[in-house]
A and B are shown apart, each in its own frame.
Chain A
């Protein structure tokens, strides 16, 4: 459904946001994982036609995102990372407007169905200005579904949500993914784990991994370890030699328990192997250059 070939984008002459991006996104939920500033939002803006690429091709549902943008727009919806709703309107009025902007007739039953899908039925006539962040996010999902698009671009949709809302969202995306293509852009690995098993990792504007979540996790096999180190000077030295995933401090014994991956082949004394997760694999991947440099 989504294809990019050698896609590149420069802001000005020097700032390269995307570099030779090649993507093939099939139907279902597809993860686009990458740290902040990796180029995820730029890619989504190009695919939704609000930004023009500097080079390469981007196609959605078989239509070119530059030359046939009107056809593309009929088939897509965007849930941006940051958006502004009309605070003085209620969700029903807003969704009516979204239908109008998509060239569709106003269908009140469809609107209510979508609001029910995002659990906003009871708030359907309340001003959106009084909504919490999670409720606004649900309105954004409802608008993305209202005109029955084939492809949905979701840019960091769960950032800023509490755990309960986040879980609800993941489930919702999985449900939507049964019928539509959802490009789920995020830097939160749990979102991907819970919603899909296919993903690409974007870093510094480049695709550095494409495949299944299992394949990504496998890349971290034998590279994740746990170790106890004395706090103080030993811990400082330990940090410089290894990539730290997480650590906990035991003040009574003045010890630090760290989950890490060594930057070189030399393993710390007393280390125990750990089962890799998508998060560790992703961190290893995006920090690969650091590990390589030290090695």
Chain B
């Protein structure tokens, strides 16, 4: 063993002493320093390390593949008889080369990690740094394992350095140019940001499968190389005994089977992941929800994150066809769903299956507008011991409808971070949670990498790896949340806690008073924004969550986050000329009330006021509204604010929220509602309130 380790050490030294191999480090540093993310001075979280490493490894691995092939073939020629005539060279050659190349690449690229960690040290706590390092290694290992083995195999098969290097290069370029967002067996670059850091979701699952697939394929190919090496390499001929050949062959078969299994699993999942949302059924849901008298659900989830048993008992008030309109996830419909009518209007629906999140669940992925507008349909995730369930979601058949009762059974081993259940009991290693009547939106969070902490003195459940910058964003938003609650909250039993909500693209203010802040709040995506803009956007994040009344409505969030999605001719939202400026005005107001030194409401409104006459003010406003009415509404609301007493306008906003039926409200309704509440008409403010 010592002898073998010495061989590896020697080959490792040879690898590092080759000056051309240091180009790997040079390229690594070039990609690192030319990455826009690297120069972002505001944050350096594990997500950034993930993103930058992905880029570095994609390009350096191609260069490395060529170098590794050349290095592997250094001794595979007649000019290396000196080595081949020695007893230890033949048996250990391939594996010693493998380790030397792999660890050589690791050492050469390690400075990129060190630089990133040094840079991240100012932003991250120790857990964040460790997480960043883990991300780096997680991405590095399967990629470079694969390229190392690919180099060995092409070297062995061709044994001419030039030809083998070309083959390796073509294989790698082939893999790289077919980059795709769609999860794929040979998706070479990893999009690990979501899944890797938070550990769930289609990208998380496919990332794990994809990386496992590459690793298993690499080990299988390495074993294959070790086997054929006995026949191909000099001096190895006729030395393989049947027993050893059998052993190698068995291992090759074993890993090939593993590769096949992982590949099949990924391909199976792919069907569900790339499936689009069933929009026809989605549009039918309102009709079905209206027809429901009661809708009770019993769900059992096992250790593997599979819905072992789902049973919905449905009682209808009026006759509607429900069989064709089950809005379950595609993966939950893979096995037959049984719908039985026990008596008239009473149905029993049974289903089971894996919970595979489709790509349309991701607000961050580029999707078709009609898909982007449907919001977070799955309503949670179930992934091994990780669990998040919202009361509206495709984990039950009528996902848009309100449940009237729920019994959820999960293994006792699940670590429950949060539950809004009315009661729970444990029996036979399973914990049963009961919800009755009016269910809050967030039902349960389990298995998240949380720790209890506080944000500005308020109780909070925070990710363990939280870096200082992200924490800063959370604190900013929490300050706005506390400020908003002071001004508008009427709830008395609220818990006032903040819980970081993974995966969901919207923050939710639960009817219980808990504020579920999405893990990537909008302010994180405004690295170059002025402090004033950040203050305002943080207020907006809170206000829109509050405005949505405990539901997840990503359409509103998207209008704010991606304004273009609302301003297209084929607007999918009912009216974005009233609610958006309304909520934006209150964001300005909240931010300026809480931080008047940074946000001067009057001067901002002045910019909106002069926007039609002064073109330069268009660039000065913190957020640009395209339509003239929207700018006008902002100004009118300010004028109204001047007419009414202190705090009255906040009451108006709270009343509007109570009275409206959904997220959206058209302009005329808004104007008349305000007139009813205040006696002032936004259209006649100049007469009614002449001081303005």
Q: Which residues of A contact B (CB under 8 A)?
A: 45, 48-50, 52, 66, 69-70, 73-74, 76-80, 82-84, 86, 88-89, 93, 96-98, 100-103, 106, 140, 143, 147
Question: Do A96 and B81 form a contact, CB below 8 Å, given A69-B239, A73-B86?
Answer: no
CA distance A4 to B18 in the complex (A): 42
Closest chain A residue, CB of each to CB of B14? A86
B87 touches A102 (CB 8 A): yes
CA distance A76 to B235 in the complex (A): 14
B85 touches A84 (CB 8 A): no
Closest chain B residue, CB of each to CB of A75? B87
A50 touches B7 (CB 8 A): no
* 18 A-B pairs (CB sep. < 8 Å): A50-B85, A50-B234, A52-B238, A69-B235, A70-B87, A70-B239, A78-B81, A80-B78, A80-B79, A82-B79, A89-B13, A100-B7, A101-B83, A101-B86, A102-B87, A102-B88, A103-B3, A140-B82
Q: Which residues of B contact A97 (CB under 8 A)?
A: 7, 10
Q: Pick the residue among A79, A84, A93, A98 that contacts B13 (CB under 8 A).
A: A93
Asked whether B237 is an interface residue with its Cβ less than 8 Å from the other chain, the reply is yes
Asked whether B80 is an interface residue with its Cβ less than 8 Å from the other chain, the reply is yes
B78 touches A103 (CB 8 A): no
Closest chain B residue, CB of each to CB of A44? B81
B10 touches A50 (CB 8 A): no
Asked whether B77 is an interface residue with its Cβ less than 8 Å from the other chain, the reply is yes
B82 touches A143 (CB 8 A): yes
Q: Which residues of B contact A140 (CB under 8 A)?
A: 82
Interface size class of B (residues with CB under 8 A): 20 to 34
Distance (whole angstroms) from the CB of A133 to the closest CB of chain B: 14
In B79-110, the 8 Å CB interface with A consists of 79-89
- Looking at chain B's contact residues, the main secondary structure is helix
Q: Which residues of A contact B84 (CB under 8 A)?
A: 48, 50
Residue of B19, B80, B86 contacting most chain A CB atoms (<10 Å) = B86
CA distance A89 to B15 in the complex (A): 11
B86 touches A98 (CB 8 A): yes
Distance (whole angstroms) from the CB of A165 to the closest CB of chain B: 19
CA distance A268 to B235 in the complex (A): 54
Kindly supply a per-residue 1/0 record for chain B positions 61-88, scoring 1 wherever the CB is within 8 Å of any chain A CB and 0 otherwise: 0000000000000110111111111111
Question: Do A45 and B81 form a contact, CB below 8 Å, given A52-B237, A52-B238?
Answer: yes
CA distance A100 to B6 in the complex (A): 7
Distance (whole angstroms) from the CB of B166 to the closest CB of chain A: 22
Kindly supply a per-residue 1/0 record for chain B positions 19-45, scoring 1 wherever the CB is within 8 Å of any chain A CB and 0 otherwise: 100000000000000000000000000
Residue of B6, B19, B78, B87 contacting most chain A CB atoms (<10 Å) = B87
Distance (whole angstroms) from the CB of B21 to the closest CB of chain A: 10
Question: Do A50 and B81 form a contact, CB below 8 Å, given A88-B17, A100-B10?
Answer: yes
Q: Which residues of A contact B89 (CB under 8 A)?
A: 101
B234 touches A66 (CB 8 A): no
- Lowest 7 A-B CB distances belong to which pairs? A88-B17, A101-B86, A80-B81, A73-B87, A84-B79, A78-B85, A48-B85
CA distance A83 to B81 in the complex (A): 7
Distance (whole angstroms) from the CB of B474 to the closest CB of chain A: 52
B10 touches A78 (CB 8 A): no
Q: Which residues of B contact A96 (CB under 8 A)?
A: 10
CB-based A-B contact count at 8 angstroms = 80
Q: Which residues of B contact A100 (CB under 8 A)?
A: 3, 6-7, 10, 88
Closest chain B residue, CB of each to CB of A106? B6
Q: Which residues of B contact A (CB under 8 A)?
A: 3, 6-7, 10, 13-14, 17-19, 74-75, 77-89, 234-235, 237-239
Q: Which residues of A contact B3 (CB under 8 A)?
A: 100, 103
Q: Pick the residue among B17, B82, B87 that contacts A78 (CB under 8 A).
A: B82
Q: Pick the residue among B6, B83, B85 that contacts A49 (CB under 8 A).
A: B85
Distance (whole angstroms) from the CB of B8 to the closest CB of chain A: 10
Distance (whole angstroms) from the CB of A160 to the closest CB of chain B: 14
Closest chain A residue, CB of each to CB of B9? A100
Distance (whole angstroms) from the CB of A102 to the closest CB of chain B: 5
B81 touches A48 (CB 8 A): yes
Closest chain A residue, CB of each to CB of B86? A101
CA distance A96 to B13 in the complex (A): 13
Give 20 new A-B contacts, CB below 8 A, not counting A83-B81, A102-B86.
Answer: A49-B235, A50-B234, A52-B237, A66-B238, A70-B87, A73-B86, A74-B87, A78-B82, A80-B79, A82-B78, A88-B17, A88-B19, A89-B14, A89-B17, A96-B10, A97-B7, A98-B82, A101-B87, A102-B87, A140-B82
Question: Do A83 and B88 form a contact, CB below 8 Å, given A49-B235, A88-B17, A96-B10?
Answer: no
Distance (whole angstroms) from the CB of B319 to the closest CB of chain A: 84
Question: Do A50 and B88 form a contact, CB below 8 Å, given A80-B81, A84-B77, A106-B6?
Answer: no
CA distance A50 to B85 in the complex (A): 7
Q: Which residues of A contact B82 (CB under 8 A)?
A: 78-80, 83, 98, 140, 143
Question: Do A83 and B80 form a contact, CB below 8 Å, given A77-B85, A88-B18, A100-B88?
Answer: yes
B7 touches A101 (CB 8 A): yes
CA distance A140 to B235 in the complex (A): 19
Distance (whole angstroms) from the CB of B22 to the closest CB of chain A: 12
CA distance A74 to B6 in the complex (A): 18
CA distance A93 to B235 in the complex (A): 24
Closest chain A residue, CB of each to CB of B7? A100
Closest chain A residue, CB of each to CB of B11? A97
B17 touches A83 (CB 8 A): no
Q: Which residues of A contact B80 (CB under 8 A)?
A: 83-84
Closest chain A residue, CB of each to CB of B77? A84
Distance (whole angstroms) from the CB of B563 to the closest CB of chain A: 59
CA distance A73 to B7 in the complex (A): 17
CA distance A73 to B81 in the complex (A): 12
Distance (whole angstroms) from the CB of B416 to the closest CB of chain A: 56
Q: Which residues of A contact B14 (CB under 8 A)?
A: 86, 88-89
Distance (whole angstroms) from the CB of B623 to the closest CB of chain A: 60
CA distance A50 to B13 in the complex (A): 26
Q: Which residues of A contact B10 (CB under 8 A)?
A: 93, 96-97, 100
CA distance A74 to B89 in the complex (A): 12
Distance (whole angstroms) from the CB of A136 to the closest CB of chain B: 11
Q: Which residues of B contact A45 (CB under 8 A)?
A: 81
Q: Which residues of A contact B235 (CB under 8 A)?
A: 49-50, 69
CA distance A171 to B274 in the complex (A): 77
A103 touches B81 (CB 8 A): no
Distance (whole angstroms) from the CB of B464 to the closest CB of chain A: 45
CA distance A100 to B12 in the complex (A): 14
Q: Which residues of A contact B88 (CB under 8 A)?
A: 100-103
Distance (whole angstroms) from the CB of B413 to the closest CB of chain A: 49
Closest chain B residue, CB of each to CB of A88? B17
Residue of B19, B74, B237 contacting most chain A CB atoms (<10 Å) = B237
Q: Which residues of A contact B238 (CB under 8 A)?
A: 52, 66
